Chains A and B, each alone.
Chain A
Amino acid sequence: MNVQSPALTAKDYASDQEVRWCPGCGDYAILKAVQKTLAELQADTAKTVFISGIGCAARFPYYMSTYGFHTIHGRAPAIATGVKLTNPELDVWVVSGDGDALSIGGNHLLHALRRNVDLQILLFNNEIYGLTKGQYSPTSRVGTRSPSTPGGSIDTPVSAGAFALGAGARFFARSVDTQQKHLPEILKRAKAHKGTSLVEIFQNCIVYNDGAFDGFTERAVAADRQVLLEHGKPVIFGKENDKGLRLAEGKLVLEVVRLGENGVTEADILVHDETDRVMAGMLAALQPPHMPVALGVLYCDPTRSYETSVTDEVAAARKSHPSDLAELLHKGHTWTVS
């Protein structure tokens, strides 16, 4: 797109392909939020690439008017890494689900995060396998009944936040498919972050796990069961904006307190510092119903991105010693036969 083009709208980021998720799937809302975000950023469709693995979420690239590559199960972060190493100018988004990213592709997510490749990785977490028809997933809660766990699942789920922070991620954020104001803002933050940005999006699977997140996303409870984090602001939530989080005295755990009760004032409330990895870990671990689910940018502490370092290393080597093929072949001992 050249600069003379008229401003792009969200629709300009949609491809001509018919969207084929189940009616009512949370993926529609995420698609809409992504297209809206790109329009707000006036992103260049030619320089934007969406890469996915396998699963319902992985159909995402077909519905975008950008470049797109629908690859194989779990491997999108590895393919995206190759893309960035070859052309760092491209803006690369990875779309993945909980099975794709945290089960079959767990290793690649781990290494993309620790290397800090400049990617936005959107993790559509619906706590279930959709495309394979309803088996439990690595994020399913213990006791999840599914075709493969008729008696309820036994194994402990993985937390995307704890996983990411443990892997050395420099950006971790959360949002909800239906929160159409919050989600684009988070996506913009992810895009602005140079390095791997992992965004966990709680996404409702209407067919196999409907209402999995109602406990903190339903309108009636959302205000009391969610805390929307903002850097530098006190961690306050609740319908009446009267609840806050603070460190329990003498312990490294967070507790919910009520402003005005027992002499608690705003000054006692924890101030969110998104560069604090330890705090991010504690916030990521909060679970309803007793604690609110932390949404927003839990952690953001930029450092040099991997492909930048790789590209600079090659450029420096070329500058200090621009070599040609003949020189390479003649390096070391040679001899002439006459």
Chain B
Amino acid sequence: MEGSTALVADPSGRRVLDSAVVRFAGDSGDGMQLTGSQFTLSTALAGNDLATFPDFPAEIRAPVGTTFGVSAFQINFGARVIKTSGDELDVLVAMNPAALKVNLVDVKPHGLLILDSGAFNERNFTKAGYESDPRSDGSLKDYRVFEVDMSQMTQDALKDCGLTKKESLRCKNMWALGLIYWMFGRDRQATVDWLNEKFRRRTEIAHANIAALNAGHAFGETAEVGEDLAAFSVPPAEIAPGLYRNVTGAEALSWGLVAGAKGAELKLVFCSYPITPASSVLHALADLKDYGVVTFQAEDEIAAVCAAIGASYAGGVGVTSSSGPGVALKMEAVGLAISAELPLVIVNSQRAGPSTGMPTKTEQSDLYQSVFGRNGDAPLVVLAARSPADCFDVAIEAVRIATKYMTPVILLSDGYIANAAEPWHLPEADSLPRFPVAFETDPEGFHPFKRDPETLSRSWAVPGTPGLEHRIGGIEKASDSGNISYDPANHQLMTDLRRNKVLGVAKDVPPQAFEAGGADDKLVVVGWGSTYGPISRAVDNLRSEGLPVAHLHLRHIWPLPQNLEALLRGFDKILVPEMNDGQLVTLLRGEYLVPAESLSKVTGKPFKISEIEAAIRARLED
């Protein structure tokens, strides 16, 4: 389990921790996401490795003080490599009773609860559904509780700022952040700079927030809090040298698309319709017009994918982005892009389904939809990103494959990856892959479905090219002219060509490699997407105990890597943890007839390391 503590004192008298998991929780109006992202920044600057998990409600402004309005931000940071946002909380900061009620279940025994006692009153107990004060009825007896009236302390600190009571109270998240900064010995300067920049047009608000931050910090330093609240130190992690930044999945994915279009030397045309949790990609790209990015907020999901197809038809990189329900709407048009053999990238930031499901909760249950979810025999390429930073490389790969093979590519991300952040070792921009597209220009022997014998990709002639005027569409076309054809043998041939073209992509990607362990182990865990963190930590932990367990993590969901079957056949047991009801496991069993076994979790939350460890142990003990 991550978040284990090693109680050694450092020279400053702080207790040294190997790693820690902290969650800030409060009302959705309390600024918990901002608080968390500032703590993330200062933690990264302090040299720790980290992973974060924002968890916010679907309601924009749920009634204040209610459990369904609770917004939380979790961070796991440490002096070692951090792979998940943490199974259990060492510290929970709860800004009101509802935040305590919702989040207490994740705090580990004897974990620390820091409560804003100013918000713990009868009215808020009622709103949170507490029948009695949890602080006095014994329900917190297994935890260490530290109470401080943050609301009052913030108001006291800001009494000379000239703000209204309401405005002052809005700064209490910074007071809490100041206290936590003191606890972990964090530098406040980056947050001070950020506040000055964010409120540069309202300097009094900037000053008030900074004053609250400093007051919270000073409280920790001066108040005699004793053993209740100790000062800790988490030494820097051993991280590969280089230049780093924090990045969310949505940012990395957006920048990867920009880098992919640059690699292809084509215009990026990004067409989307707002949907949770995918909109952040639209927002990020809409702000990149100075990189030549065209973004189009379409009237609906169908128009978004169709405009992207139009963009590719006209010689750009057409990209559309959505979440499961939106992708369902797009699928007829994706079939058109498959039939017309046009490049297209479809990003799916998956969320809990079916139907509207739980829009703000993560899941990876659109694998079937991606691989199979169209009418007709309609193969395309499916890729999956494993972490926020990995989105950058996968987005470039999606553009490369789409343009090289004239095929739609579905890129699977999820709500966790999109919103979570991690430190990213920045690549050199000059070393990124280049794959310039050469449009067809030669009228000699041209027809639109002339194929490259190697890749089976059809020639890409864009409107505007003299002498190559042609017609394409979703009706079956003759393999040797592109004209409409209902010929039976031709349809068989074209179906075979479309299948073989997509399967051929497997020859153009690196062979599947082990993340940990190898062919000599007894059990292999096969994962994909955002389960990477908990699987790899669980496998590492068990391997260090000497257990014979290996880990394969797939980026290429379809076509599957060419060597995967041979790798899987070497194992007695195959375990496939997924945040769905067992989708990759079915694909693997269907493709290879191997006895793969599912470990399924669909709670809207990522796997805990301990859950995967337990599942592996149980199977090894059989």
Which residues does A use to contact B, with CB under 8 Å?
Answer: 1-2, 15, 17, 45-47, 49, 51, 61-62, 64-72, 75, 78-87, 89-90, 107-108, 110-111, 310, 313-314, 317-318, 320-326, 328-330, 332-338
Contacts and interface: CB of A to CB of B under 8 A. Distances in A.
A83 B292 contact: no
Given A62-B471, A72-B333, A335-B45, A318 B463 contact: no
18 contacts: A15-B471, A45-B469, A46-B464, A46-B469, A69-B471, A70-B474, A81-B303, A82-B271, A85-B294, A86-B294, A87-B463, A107-B303, A314-B289, A314-B294, A333-B245, A333-B246, A335-B44, A336-B242
Nearest to B193: A333
A317 to B, nearest CB: 4
A29 to B, nearest CB: 21
B290 A320 contact: yes
Contacts of A110: 299
Given A47-B463, A69-B340, A82-B271, A75 B302 contact: yes
Given A70-B472, A86-B314, A111 B303 contact: yes
Contacts of B318: 82, 86
What does DSSP make chain B's interface, helix, strand, loop or mixed? mixed
Contacts of A17: 471, 483-484
Given A47-B464, A83-B310, A337 B471 contact: no
Interface string B309-323: 111111110100000
Nearest to B483: A17
A110 B241 CA distance: 55
B47 to A, nearest CB: 7
A81 B310 CA distance: 7
B242 A310 contact: no
Contacts of A47: 463-464
Contact of A334 (B245, B294, B483): B245
B269 A336 contact: no
A146 to B, nearest CB: 25
Nearest to B238: A337
A67 B307 contact: no
A188 B469 CA distance: 22
B314 A87 contact: yes
B314 A310 contact: no
Contact of B310 (A67, A78, A336): A78
Interface stretch (B130-138, B165-173, B255-263, B539-547): B255-263
Nearest to A58: B473
Contacts of B47: 335, 337
Contacts, number: 205
B243 interface: yes
Contacts of A320: 290
Range class of the B interface residue count: 35 or more
Contacts of A79: 306-307, 309-310, 313
Contacts of B45: 333, 335
Given A46-B463, A333-B45, A82 B241 contact: no
B114 interface: no
B299 A70 contact: no
A51 B316 CA distance: 17
B245 A83 contact: no
Interface stretch (B83-91, B143-151, B425-433): B425-433
Contacts of B464: 46-47, 67, 87, 89-90
Contacts of A49: 463
Interface string B265-277: 0010101000000
B255 A67 contact: no
A82 B463 contact: no
Contacts of B376: none
B311 A85 contact: yes
A329 B427 CA distance: 9
Contact of A328 (B288, B302, B468, B470): B288
B62 interface: no
Interface string B455-479: 0000000111111111111110000
Given A82-B269, A314-B292, A333-B41, A108 B245 contact: no
B466 A46 contact: yes
Contacts of A85: 269, 294, 296, 307, 310-311
Contacts of A325: 255, 258-259, 262, 291, 429, 432
A258 to B, nearest CB: 47
A313 B290 CA distance: 9
A322 B469 contact: no
Contacts of B307: 78-79, 81-82, 85
B240 interface: yes
Contacts of A45: 469
B245 A332 contact: yes
A88 to B, nearest CB: 10
Contacts of A317: 289-290
Given A86-B294, A314-B293, A317-B289, A69 B472 contact: yes
A326 B471 CA distance: 40
A322 to B, nearest CB: 7
A323 B465 contact: no
Given A79-B313, A111-B299, A313-B289, A330 B474 contact: no
Contact of A337 (B242, B302, B333): B242
A326 B241 contact: no
B249 to A, nearest CB: 15
B303 A68 contact: no
A120 to B, nearest CB: 15
Given A71-B473, A78-B303, A334-B426, A318 B294 contact: no
B310 to A, nearest CB: 3
A329 B333 contact: no
Nearest to A76: B306
B292 A318 contact: yes
Nearest to A1: B466
Contact of B469 (A66, A71, A323): A66
Nearest to B293: A314
B215 to A, nearest CB: 24
Contact of A75 (B306, B467, B471): B306
Q: What are the nearest 3 A-B pairs in CB distance?
A: A82-B310, A70-B473, A82-B307
Contacts of B267: 86
Contacts of A329: 245, 255, 426-427, 429
A337 B306 CA distance: 45
A86 B311 contact: yes
B484 A62 contact: yes
Contacts of A70: 471-475
Given A82-B310, A86-B310, A330-B245, A69 B293 contact: no
A324 B315 contact: no
A322 B302 CA distance: 33
Given A78-B302, A78-B310, A335 B473 contact: no
Contacts of B471: 15, 17, 61-62, 64, 67-70
Contacts of B315: 86-87
A47 B314 CA distance: 11
Nearest to B424: A329
Interface string B294-305: 101011101110
A200 B313 CA distance: 27
Contacts of B340: 69
Given A79-B313, A83-B314, A313-B289, 19 more contacts: A17-B483, A46-B466, A46-B468, A46-B469, A69-B310, A75-B302, A79-B307, A85-B296, A87-B314, A87-B463, A310-B294, A314-B293, A318-B291, A325-B259, A328-B291, A329-B245, A333-B41, A335-B44, A337-B47
Contacts of B430: 326
B395 to A, nearest CB: 13
Contacts of B314: 82-84, 86-87, 90
Nearest to A73: B332
Contacts of A2: 466
A325 B293 CA distance: 12
A301 to B, nearest CB: 23
Of B262, B303, B429, B430, chain A has the most CB atoms within 10 Å of the CB of B303
